[in-house]
């Protein structure tokens, strides 16, 4: 494969550093530019065959506006944010380069791309989609190609509603005065796994999660639907309407279909291995 010069704007951050190592391992030259580097983003962009925007979501648009016009027409301009509609629209507007929105659905702690999902939104890919897809799949990534609109709608559930419910769960425990550590001594393995996920989220950067919740325009609709469901279930429980509860539960079960069995097998497997390793007693 041809070797390229790849510029990562914001490359001093954790994801930028992760992709620096990744592309260097593939034999490409990587330039890093940011607020603290000697090489400025404005100097970096014209030098590169591939320019990757790897800055916080809230800074992405102003970075694209500044850098986009400097990216060569024969080059590729990408971003790595978890929101796609707005950044992709900006890259199309402010650059003549090829444009592929990308969302690596993993954090910088992973050791490799094996079985990691990378979503690509090739809105003006020119010659670059094949190259990018090949280099990811060569490293065993699971590449999902979709539109920016479909991506953001999916993320409104995968991230928006999921993180919303997680944050609210922690605050409910706080308001009830329930110690997480004490609750774990009463709990099933499933609850312990759930709380591990809660703890994992709260061990991250709150600014990142503020952007994930507030900058995806699809989140408003998704969270409203979630709140409708919670209010309906709350009403059923307050009325102690057993029949309506069972109906509501079965409607959810019917919607999930065969996934229920798959989920049970998978979660049983995780619990069994955690118990063996002494993570769950």
In terms of residue numbers, what domain contains 80? 5-146
161 shares a domain with 82: no
11 shares a domain with 78: yes
Contact 53, 9 (CB under 8 A): yes
Assess whether pLDDT exceeds 80 at residue 14: yes
110 shares a domain with 33: yes
> pLDDT band for position 280 (50/70/90)?
low
pLDDT of residue 276: 76
pLDDT of residue 274: 78
Reported residue count of the chain is 281
- Specify the CATH number for the domain of residue 254: 1.10.3660.10
> pLDDT band for position 272 (50/70/90)?
confident
54 shares a domain with 177: no
Assess whether pLDDT exceeds 60 at residue 279: no
pLDDT of residue 264: 94
Quick one: what percent of the chain has pLDDT higher than 70?
Answer: 98
267 shares a domain with 176: yes
- Look at the chain and report how many structural domains it folds into: 2
Q: How many helices (H) and strands (E) does the chain have?
A: 13, 7
Q: Does a structural domain hold residue 9?
A: yes
Tokens of 278: 């002494």
Element (H, E) at 121: strand 117-124
Q: Does a structural domain hold residue 199?
A: yes
- Specify the CATH number for the domain of residue 84: 3.40.50.720
Which residue, among 119, 113, 112, 120, has the nearest Cα to 141 in the 3D structure?
A: 113
> pLDDT band for position 90 (50/70/90)?
very high
114 shares a domain with 157: no
22 shares a domain with 112: yes
pLDDT of residue 11: 87
Assess whether pLDDT exceeds 60 at residue 281: no
Mean pLDDT of the chain: 95
Q: Does a structural domain hold residue 281?
A: no
Dihedral angle at the C-alpha atoms of 18, 129, 70, 36, nearest 10 degrees?
Answer: 0
211 shares a domain with 263: yes
Q: What is the pTM of this model?
A: 0.91
Q: Does a structural domain hold residue 37?
A: yes
- CA–CA gap between residue 58 and residue 176 (Å, rounded): 34
User: Where is the domain boundary, 124, 146, 168?
Assistant: 146
pLDDT of residue 278: 67
Q: Does a structural domain hold residue 129?
A: yes
* Each residue's pLDDT tens digit, 210-258: 999 999 999 999 999 999 999 999 999 999 999 999 999 999 999 999 9
DSSP-derived 3-state class of residue 77: strand
Sequence-ordered alpha helix ranges (H) in 6-119: 14-25, 41-44, 57-67, 85-94
205 shares a domain with 161: yes
226 shares a domain with 154: yes
pLDDT of residue 160: 97
pLDDT of residue 180: 95
Assess whether pLDDT exceeds 90 at residue 277: no
Assess whether pLDDT exceeds 60 at residue 261: yes
163 shares a domain with 72: no
User: Where is the domain boundary, 146, 172, 191?
Assistant: 146
User: Where is the domain boundary, 95, 124, 146?
Assistant: 146
* Each residue's pLDDT tens digit, 118-154: 999 999 999 999 999 999 999 999 999 999 999 999 9
Q: Does a structural domain hold residue 96?
A: yes
Query: Quick one: average pLDDT of 204-212?
Result: 93
Contact 12, 38 (CB under 8 A): no
254 shares a domain with 122: no
* Each residue's pLDDT tens digit, 25-75: 999 999 999 989 999 999 999 999 999 999 999 999 999 999 999 999 999
């Amino acid at each position: 494969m041809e070797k390229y010069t790849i510029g990562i704007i914001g490359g001093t951050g954790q994801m930028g550093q992760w992709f620096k190592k990744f592309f260097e391992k593939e034999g490409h030259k990587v330039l890093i530019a940011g607020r603290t580097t000697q090489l400025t983003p404005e100097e970096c962009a014209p030098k590169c065959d591939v320019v990757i925007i790897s800055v916080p979501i809230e800074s992405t648009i102003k970075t694209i506006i500044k850098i986009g016009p400097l990216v060569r027409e024969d080059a590729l301009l990408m971003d790595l944010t978890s929101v796609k509609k707005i950044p992709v629209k900006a890259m199309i507007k402010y650059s003549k380069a090829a444009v592929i929105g990308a969302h690596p659905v993993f954090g910088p702690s992973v050791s490799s791309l094996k079985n990691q999902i990378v979503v690509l939104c090739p809105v003006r890919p020119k010659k670059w989609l094949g190259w990018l897809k090949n280099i990811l799949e060569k490293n065993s990534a699971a590449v999902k190609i979709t539109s920016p609109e479909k991506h953001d709608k999916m993320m409104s559930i995968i991230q928006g509603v999921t993180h919303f419910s997680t944050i609210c769960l922690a605050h409910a425990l706080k308001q009830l005065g329930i110690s997480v550590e004490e609750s774990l001594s009463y709990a099933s393995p499933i609850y312990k796994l759930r709380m591990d996920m809660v703890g994992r989220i709260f061990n991250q950067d709150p600014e990142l999660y503020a952007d994930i919740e507030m900058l995806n325009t699809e989140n408003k609709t998704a969270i409203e639907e979630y709140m409708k469901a919670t209010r309906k279930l709350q009403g059923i429980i307050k009325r102690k309407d057993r029949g309506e509860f069972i109906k509501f539960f079965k409607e959810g079960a019917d919607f999930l279909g065969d996934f229920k069995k798959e989920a049970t097998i998978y979660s049983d497997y995780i619990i069994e291995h955690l118990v063996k390793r002494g993570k769950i007693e």
